[in-house]
Structure 1
Amino acid sequence: MSVVVPDWTPHAPLQRFCLPWSEAAGVELAVLRLDLIDPLISGNKWFKLSHHLARAQAESAAGVISLGGAHSNHLHALAAAGKRFGFATVGLLRGHAQQTATVDDLLAFGMQLHWLGYAGYRARHAAGFWLPWQAQYPGFYAVPEGGGGLSGALGCMALLPMVREQLAEIGWADYDAWWLAAGTGTTMAGLLLGEAAAHPVHGALAVPADHGVAQQVQGIVQEAGLPVGPYHLHEACRGGFARRDDELLAFMFNAEEQSGLPFEPLYTAKALMALRQQVEAGYFARGSRVVFVHTGGLQGRAAALSSSAPLL
């Protein structure tokens, strides 16, 4: 059976939320709740997948294959979409076979898994990497890690009208900036393309600088050939990808209590903590209105809180 995806356009609510540090600085916050679009196909991952899946359907692909780790939000969303919409999925995973809540879900959703080891996964950018997998799974459409690339960014442009259509409902005429976690930079690039220089976009780096987020963002916008406005990357990884510490967790639990919103420590809590640091430093003028994108990932919250070791 080839890939066929219904015309599904999920909607995320835009909500105002207040925290003591933002109120003290006179900075208004609103959050785009992508965590609420669906119980399983959650967060920004669906939007990064949408154009890839449309291309897979246009090519009459036999299925979809992609890459990620044992806690990958991207693979979780892809496998859930495959289960719901009835197309085959294959996941190429970093490291060696292990059991996690995410891996359990991938298997339950029917995704075929292959563990590449660490050296094998590092070779994913090498020429010819996909050739043996295309031979093993002929006719499968390959999605880049994290749903990246221009197709992933184009899907994320849908977030802009979603916000603009709800501004009046929260009493805003406009906003001054976007703020979101950046893992590959794909969602950030999509916002830049959609904004066409109207508003700046701020990405809180949940990964170290050597992961190449800046280069990926620049590559996507150059490939698109569309005008983009100012954007800024802010350090937020706290020592490495998937690392969390007592200060971060204390901040997250406190922010949840104060705002009534759920977060997870790998992306959303790091992004919010970096926003607090910039707000308290006076980065945004009093009266500024900032849209914070909740990128989801809550299905991995329990695993992310269960150990202080990095989730590799």
Structure 2
Amino acid sequence: MEFSNQKIHLDLPNGIELFIKREDLLHPIISGNKFRKLKYNIQSAKKLGQSTLLTFGGAFSNHILAVAGAGAEFGFKTIGVIRGEELEDKIKENPTLAHAQALGMQFYFVSRTAYRDKESSLFIAHLQEKFGDFYLLPEGGTNNLAIKGCEEILALSDKHNFSHIACAVGTGGTFSGLINSSDENQQLIGFSSLKGSFLSDVICNFVKKKNWSINDTYHFGGYGKVNEELISFLNSFYSQTNIPLDPIYTGKMVFGVLDLIKKEYFPPNSKILMIHTGGLQGIKGMNFALQKKNKEIIQYVKN
């Protein structure tokens, strides 16, 4: 399954052309890279005869909602191990968790300290004792099967028509899949949504090609952080293009690409494809937080 690339009609210098692949339109709930990451994991869970999917995430996790949606659509029981015990009494106030619960997901809230040990064999054994047998999906959904799914994002024509591919990076799975399926003559830029430069080491575990780099300049303070400049940019970009962007991943990437174009980072006549990885469901939660601080909100999503 693939979606057409939409041209961005902005006044760009040096003959540069800019397109965005609308992966956010893949599915109303399991959107963007989450659809890609879950595709082969769902097939694997069915083949193994598993009836329960268990995964991890924070309060506004796109992955948590996508797994809940996949469970409802494909007939799995779903369990979400959620970071932050204080959230247990605030589900109704959280649009992501409320929606996931409505789709049938059972929650297990743990402290932030306990959550740090989520990958330990001791913690997994505790979960198995508590919930029985399950198919384990890592936080963010990145594993080898997820990367296999993300390798299908680029169409054959994308590998020949674009000089540059740009994508937001969280756990590195989507970007790794793009690298693996890219043409070696293309340049791939991953825009980190996290503080720090550790992502390159993670991605090296999954790829062999060298035609990529990580830009960690446009994280706006770190994961989940935004400021007035970014929110204003998202609203302005939507008013010019009618394309909604999320504030955690794709919005920061698009901001970064346009800023690099202004700074003449890209050679003249570059043809750039940006990957829209979805995540629009998180806007309601972000707007709720912004409203409490009397800040400008993202205008194109109704709360």
Global fold match (TM > 0.5): yes
Distance 2:120 2:128 in 1: 15
- Partner of 2:53, secondary structure, is strand
Q: What residue number does 2:67 align with?
A: 78
Residue number in structure 2 paired with 1:185: 172
* Structure 1 unaligned regions, length at least 5: 1-9, 222-226
- Please report how far the alpha carbon of residue 24 of structure 1 lies from its aligned counterpart in structure 2 after TM superposition: 2.4
What displacement does 1:198 show?
4.0
Identity %: 29
Q: Secondary structure at the match of 2:70?
A: helix
Task: Determine the structure 2 residue equivalent to 1:220.
Answer: 206
Matched position secondary structure for 2:127: helix
List structure 1 segments (4+ residues) > 4 angstroms apart after TM superposition. Answer: none
Partner residue of 1:232? 213
Letter in 2 for 1:15: Q
Q: What SS does the aligned partner of 2:273 have?
A: strand
Tell me by how many angstroms 1:129 deviates. 2.3
Choose which of 104, 119, 137 in structure 2 pairs with 1:125: 119
| Structure 1 contact 198–229 (Cα < 8 Å) conserved | no
| Cα pair distance change 1:129/1:136, threshold 3 Å | same
Query: What do you get for the CA RMSD once the two structures are aligned?
Result: 1.8
Per-residue Cα deviation, 1:188-210 (whole angstroms, up to 9, x for no partner): 00011112624221111111126
1:283 is matched with 265
Aligned match for 1:150, one of 121, 144, 163 = 144
The structural deviation recorded for 1:239 is 0.9
Do the aligned partners of 1:199 and 1:229 also contact (CA within 8 Å) in 2? no
Aligned to 1:7: none
Partner of 1:259: 241
Note if 1:174 corresponds to 2:165: no
The letter for the 2-side match of 1:55 is S
- Which SS does the other structure have where 2:54 is aligned? strand
- 8 A Cα contact 2:79 2:106, kept in partner: yes
Gapped regions of structure 2 (runs ≥ 5): 294-303
Q: Where does residue 299 of structure 2 map in the other structure?
A: none
In structure 2, relative to structure 1, the CA distance for the partners of 1:127 and 1:288 (3 Å cut) is: same
Q: Distance in 2 between the 1:252 and 1:19 partners?
A: 14
Indicate the residue corresponding to 2:297 in structure 1.
none
Q: Pick the aligned partner of 1:63 from 49, 52, 71.
A: 52
Q: Secondary structure at the match of 1:128?
A: helix
Deviation at 1:173, TM superposition (A): 6.0
Q: Does the CA-based 8 Å contact 1:206-1:266 persist in structure 2? A: yes
Contact 1:179 1:290 in 2 (8 A): yes
User: How far apart are residue 179 of structure 1 and its match?
Assistant: 0.3
Which amino acid counterpart does residue 106 of structure 1 have in structure 2?
A
What residue number does 1:3 align with? none
2:192 pairs with one of 189, 197, 205: 205
2:263 partner amino acid: A
What is the rounded CA distance, in whole Å, between the counterparts of 2:215 and 2:71 in structure 1?
34
The structural deviation recorded for 1:252 is 1.1
Q: Offset at 1:234? A: 0.8
Aligned length: 285
Structure 1 counterpart of 2:281, one-letter code: Q
Listed as ranges, the matches of 1:22-61 within 5 Å are 23-61=12-50
1:11-26 equivalent positions in 2, closer than 5 A = 11-20=2-11, 23-26=12-15
Counterpart of 2:186 in 1: which secondary structure? coil
Q: In 1, Cα distance between the equivalents of 2:148 and 2:160?
A: 25
Letter in 2 for 1:246: E
Q: Residue 105 of structure 1 corresponds to which residue in structure 2?
A: 99
Alpha carbons 2:163, 2:185 under 8 Å: kept: no
Residue 181 (structure 2) pairs with residue 194 (structure 1): yes
Q: SS state of the match for residue 64, structure 2? A: helix
